[in-house]
Structure 1
C-alpha cells in the first residue's frame, strides 16, 4: 500500500500563498490548504503548529524575496526609501499578503533582514543609539500600514472600485452645507482614499524621514 505523500515545507508555503491570492487571512484555513494539497490537516501541523505560524511564514517569504538581491546604496534616507518601495512592490504583487505581514509580523529570515537594514540605516543617520529602537518601530509601523492600505485597494474588482467611487461622489458632492460646511466647501477637491496612493505613499514616507532628520543632533 502506497503511503500518503510527504510535502516539503516550501511546497506547503507555495500552495498557501496561491490560496491567499484569491482569499484573505480570515477565510484561509489549514483544512482548505490540506485539501488543495490532497492531504489531511494533521500532516501540515508537523510543519506549522498553528495557522498563525503558517501565515507568518508565508509573509516572511515575501520579505525574504524582496531582500534577495537588495544592496544598500546612498545615504540613510535613500536606503530607507528604496527599502520601503521595494517592500511595497513585493506585496503589491500579492496584495492579500500585505495585511498578514502587518497583522501577524514575522520572526523569520526575511524579517530579520528588513530589521537589520532599517536599524543600520538609522544608525548611519547619526541618531543616538538610545533613540533608534523607537524610531525603528514607528517607521516600520508606518511602512506596513501604508503597504497594507495600498494593497487593500489593489484587491478590489473593477466593479467594486466603481461602486465605491459612486458612493464617494454621493456622500461628498451631496453633503448638506448646513451640517457639513467644510465638506461642502471642499467637495470638488477632496479625493477618495484610493486615489493616487503611490504618490501619497512616497510623500508620507518622505515627511516621516524629514522629521527624523530634523531631530538629528
Structure 2
C-alpha cells in the first residue's frame, strides 16, 4: 500500500472536496472515508475539523451561501436588493443540485448564512418594516428561495426517462376535453414545461406582496417645508346694546 501523502488540511479544503464528491457521486457519496480517500489522508484526520457528517453538511450549505454573495452589493432600492440576493442564493443552490438536496433545508449557523440574513433584514428595514415584521418576512423569503432550489434540484436528480415524461405533461393537458376543462383549454398553449423553472415568476409575486405590505416611509413622499403661519383675520361679532331705560317703580 503506497504511503499517504502529506496534506495541510483545512476546513476550506475539506468542504471543496465534499462539494466535488457530492456533485460527482450524489449525496450518498458524502462519507468521511470517501473524503479522506479523495484528499489522500486518513478519515480520522477529517474529524479534527468536523465532528460529524451533519457538521459537514452545514459547512457545505454555507459554502453555497458564500458563493451566492461573492461580489454582492445592495441595490439602490430595497426591493432590488431583495431580488438580487434571492436570485443569487437560488442560482447557487440550484446550480449544485446534488448538494442542494442535502443542504437546502439546513440552517448553517455560520458566517456566510449570517451575512445573507443580515442583507435581507437590512433591506426589509429600509422598506419600512419594523423588526418583528422584518424578521418574519426574512424567514419567509429565505424559505421560499431554498424550497424552490430544492424543488428544482430534486427534479434534476430524477432518472432521464422520468424527466422526459414530465416534460411532456403540457401536451397531455392540452389534449383534455374543452367542454370539461374550458380554462385549461384556453391556457394550454401558454403552459410552461416543467423543465423551465418558474422561480423568477414566483419571486416577483412574493416581492409585489412585500411592496404592498410595506408601510409608507418618509422618503416615499415629497418633503413638506412649513411656511410662515398667517393668522386668519377675526371678525368680531356685532354687539347689540341693551336698551337703557328706567326701572319700573313699584306701586305702594
Same fold (TM over 0.5): yes
Q: Is the 8 A contact 2:21 2:35 kept in 1?
A: yes
Instruction: Find the partner of 1:25 among 24, 27, 45.
Output: 27
Residues 138 and 96 of structure 1: is their aligned pair in 2 closer, same or farther, counting only changes over 3 Å?
Answer: same
TM score, norm. by length of structure 1: 0.81
| 2:117 is the counterpart of 1:115 | yes
Give the structure with the higher percent helix: 1
The aligned runs of 1:83-162 (5 Å cut-off) are 83-156=85-158, 158-162=160-164
TM score, norm. by length of structure 2: 0.71
Q: Is the 8 A contact 2:4 2:40 kept in 1?
A: no
Q: Is the 8 A contact 1:173 1:184 kept in 2?
A: no
- Please give the alpha-carbon distance, in whole angstroms, between the structure 2 residues aligned to 1:29 and 1:194: 33
Superposed displacement of residue 18, structure 1: 0.3
- Please give the alpha-carbon distance, in whole angstroms, between the structure 2 residues aligned to 1:89 and 1:169: 25
Higher CA-based Rg: 2
Superposed displacement of residue 33, structure 1: 1.8
Q: Which residue in the other structure is 1:5 paired with?
A: 6
Task: Report how many aligned residue pairs link the two structures.
Answer: 209
- Please give the alpha-carbon distance, in whole angstroms, between the structure 2 residues aligned to 1:190 and 1:183: 14
Q: Which residue in the other structure is 1:75 paired with?
A: 77
Residues 115 and 9 of structure 1: is their aligned pair in 2 closer, same or farther, counting only changes over 3 Å?
Answer: same
Instruction: Find the partner of 1:211 among 209, 212, 223.
Output: 209
Superposed displacement of residue 171, structure 1: 6.9
Over residues 19-54 of structure 1, what are the superposed CA-to-partner deviations in whole Å (9 max), with x where a residue is unaligned? 111233345322222222233322211110110110
Residues 56 and 121 of structure 1: is their aligned pair in 2 closer, same or farther, counting only changes over 3 Å?
Answer: same
- Please give the alpha-carbon distance, in whole angstroms, between the structure 2 residues aligned to 1:185 and 1:210: 26
Residues 130 and 9 of structure 1: is their aligned pair in 2 closer, same or farther, counting only changes over 3 Å?
Answer: closer
Coordinate RMSD, CA, aligned = 2.9
Structure 1 window deviating more from structure 2 (94-103 vs 139-148): it is 94-103
Q: The residue matched to 2:105 in structure 1 has which SS?
A: helix
- Please give the alpha-carbon distance, in whole angstroms, between the structure 2 residues aligned to 1:212 and 1:169: 31
Q: Which residue in the other structure is 1:194 paired with?
A: 194
Residues 183 and 54 of structure 1: is their aligned pair in 2 closer, same or farther, counting only changes over 3 Å?
Answer: farther
Structure 2: tracts of 5 or more residues without a match: 216-252
Q: Which residue in the other structure is 1:49 paired with?
A: 51
Structure 1: tracts of 5 or more residues without a match: none
Which protein, 1 or 2, shows the higher relative CO under an 8 Å CA cutoff with sep ≥ 6?
1
Superposed displacement of residue 9, structure 1: 2.2
